[in-house]
Structure 1
């Protein structure tokens, strides 16, 4: 009896504990808590990724939508993490959705940053443009001027304060950049432009977020217009900041179109701190009427410009160079000590004057 009972107990323990229908491993009816957490994290990650891709296509209406949209370049990373969690839990449907989101995000981001489509202008004259946000005058002026002397023909600045103008002149900048258009202001409202070539100031454009000059460059078919832009940061503590950002980028589009009328068949170069990323619909709406984004044109790669701090690498791209009737030959970002933005250094080709026959 005892041997039979013992055998029965052993058999019952084997079938229920290892192969029975109540066993979590074989039936999946009673999933481990860690498994449920993984599935929920994967679902939430994919919901966020999907929401981000949707918001990217729509005009932004508030700061929450803006914050979500600017994370678009990192959606693929989130979706890959969701995919790993789904695979660990053998969730086929969730895995398929994750793969699809990765594919969609890659199809959006990679062509923008890496599939360059250069403009064809024929013979051109190269202009080197250096643009920087001075962080309300905290940037290292001597190093910036040394960079400009070696690499630039035209300099555009935002957040130029009256005190920093004196510091620029103390470096002797006027010896190599004798022409300037300076509109200093306390805080973040100032602008500046220095040039090796004569500047013809274009009447200030209403609104105060842009200055522009026609640059007298030798050998070009028509003197190009260079404009420096600085749009309000939507995420500042100021209560109406988002609304002012939205008004500012809408006004920037109107001013850029006005520059097209002034330039005629000539080139237009608009550069500066747009406080907007390519994943914000309102920024992409600027790319009309012949305007093109320099990174998208050259395929220069993903190179965020903000924040440029020693301990935090840049995460988002809010500084841009847009051109019309011009060909961007190269563009890169450069760290300037003291500034919270990386500067832009670009070489732009504008149509050359036709030689006399």
Structure 2
């Protein structure tokens, strides 16, 4: 290719992003800087966190500068190199952008991966990437559930939530999932092995709290939180003593300008619970360790990680918005190219 297409952040979204917040432009393919290399991006991860990076607000990562490509974890092939550390043809994963080609420097976030280990390179963005490992380390290292404990997962049909529930079952938990709609609830029990699925659609906080209580009369020992808002309010009314809440995401609030949050944090105090603000970036040095376990579980048929692969950089906006409409049916991935 002689053109580098780039999906840029043109203005900061207010509420739900609209197409005019972005621009798809064509620029020359970059050349590697001294000691650096250029990656041909083949797959990009689409995640709720990207919506937060679009705001000019304090966060764990700096906001995406206006005029820059939307930041994304990608996997691709080294297309040109000025360093012996990364040879042309090497498959690599790193934090780049929604664009055909990205410039990288040695010593950054980019790492080589062995695509012979997986059926598709996209697996390094799902089961063996940040999504699958968010579930793995969030349970095994942060929540540390014990056999027989009750695990409550919100956003349970999503990429992270569905993996959390399955790993919880492997660890001997009773697993309850909250999702939106009958089809997603069916997938929780039939495809992912959850013990109970609860549909939050059209229910008040009180109604949802009552359904959780019926499924977990002694309360939840571990809550893996991906949604926030009214769903989290209902969950907080059903905590067991000394419950552990892993706060992984708040997708219901990302497009809300008010950022209202939950109203009954008193329950955390009343039940002597703990809330742990959890970011997978802390576990980057241990990705190989966790990825090996995830791969082994998949090979044994104990873990199912679905992917929702959308095709074409020109479809980046529509693909990204699937996260907020609930249309995605697995880890959302944008396929940009096949490789060199």
TM-score band w.r.t. shorter chain: 0.3 to 0.5
If the length of structure 2 is used for normalisation, what is the TM-score? 0.35
Name whichever structure is richer in helix by fraction. 1
Rg larger for: 1
If the length of structure 1 is used for normalisation, what is the TM-score? 0.33
Name whichever structure is richer in strand by fraction. 2
